[in-house]
Chain A
Amino acid sequence: MIRIQLNERSLTLAEGTPLSQLRADAMPDADVVIYNGHQIAEDVTLLDGDQVVLWRKGRQPSREELEALLVARHTPEVHRRVKNATVGIAGLGGLGSAVAVALARTGVGRLKLVDYDVVEPSNINRQQYFLDQLGRPKAEALAETLARINPFTVVEPTVLLIDEENIFPTLAGCDVLVECFDDPATKAMFVRVAAPLTPVVAASGMAGYGTANEIHTRRAMKNLILVGDETSEAQPGRGLMAPRVGVVAHHQANAVLRLLLGEEP
């Protein structure tokens, strides 16, 4: 006998059972077949420990089925590890809002979001907000968006201006902190206070539309992963735009994921 997971439920099958037979028995009308995180069309012989997701497009899932489907394309084992993680995001502009969306889609269990500001029209060119959210506190608006993407990620929004004294009462208990501020002095302050205690993924250098290939991720200190080109400062004539800011944000989100999975970013 072998034990597999079908739509996140444990199932015992006879050894040598083909995937096609499981589909015929469990959901003959399934038009989405995901085998160990990979959507496939061909038949395979199932092995002990395999993870299978079957789905019929257009069907409305139950809450239990939904969580399995949301993470069906993850490599097995990744979901369990990220689901147990807590990540703090400080600053919810072009970086922080995109990092939060990526990590919620990845299935991170708990996100702590901190920003003092409200959504305004000049944010929309690069930040993950919508016009019907203008004037709303970013932390609250983003929490609502994340709940629409992945209701299984617990989101704790805080409307607060971060300073040296309130970083740790607000962002205590996080496995990784993500520095997503705009102001360079605040970036440096956050790293000085947070990096002695918690791994920090920070960003520097992303303005303009220079080649995105200059953006890199490196370990700059024992507890600091730094992302960006490290030179392109936002200034008159060199603004912040969705493509490059988004590249940096997704480098940051990937560095967080790698840290959570025990890999060197």
Chain B
Amino acid sequence: MRLTVNGEEHELHGLVTLGELLAAMNVSTQRLAVELNGEVLNPDQYETTKLSEGDRLELVRFVGGG
């Protein structure tokens, strides 16, 4: 399955949900904002959101300071 993540194309094998992708990337969801095909997702949607061929995913990871 081919996805675009933060503007770069990735080939993924064996991953079905966004939650599985985030776990595989070892990303903390607390500091994360996710946009899938132009829609910002709620964290409680991550586990159940199925990824599909051609999806465009934007992951923004925040670091502290302000």
Query: Count the B residues whose beta carbon is within 8 Å of the partner chain — how many?
Result: 19
- Whether A232 contacts B33 by the Cβ 8 Å rule is no
A109 at the interface (CB under 8 A from B): no
Contact B63 A182 (CB under 8 A): no
A91:B40 contact, CB within 8 angstroms: no
Residues of B within 8 A of A232 (CB): 63, 65
Complex contact A188–B32 (CB within 8 A): yes
- The verdict on A234 contacting chain B, using a C-beta distance below 8 Å, is yes
A221 engages B35 (CB within 8 Å): yes
* Contact across chains for A221 and B66 when beta carbons are under 8 A apart: no
Q: How far is the CA of A93 from the CA of B65 in the complex (A)?
A: 10
A228 to chain B, nearest CB (A): 8
The contact string, 1 if C-beta is below 8 Å from chain B, for chain A 74-106, is 000000000000000001011110000000000
Q: A226 to chain B: which residues have CB within 8 Å?
A: 60
Q: Is the CB of B66 within 8 A of A192?
A: no
- Chain A residues bordering chain B, tally (CB within 8 A): 38
* B63 close to A233 (CB less than 8 A): yes
CA gap between A235 and B33 in the complex, in Å: 22
Residue in contact with A187 in the complex, picked from B35, B43, B58, B62, CB distance below 8 Å: B62
Please indicate the chain A residues that have their CB under 8 angstroms from the CB of B35 in the complex.
195, 221-222, 224
B65–A245 CB distance below 8 A:
yes
What are 24 pairs between A and B in contact, CB < 8 Å?
A: A91-B66, A93-B66, A181-B66, A182-B65, A182-B66, A185-B30, A188-B30, A191-B33, A192-B42, A195-B33, A205-B65, A206-B66, A207-B63, A207-B65, A220-B60, A221-B33, A221-B35, A224-B60, A226-B60, A232-B63, A232-B65, A235-B64, A240-B66, A245-B66
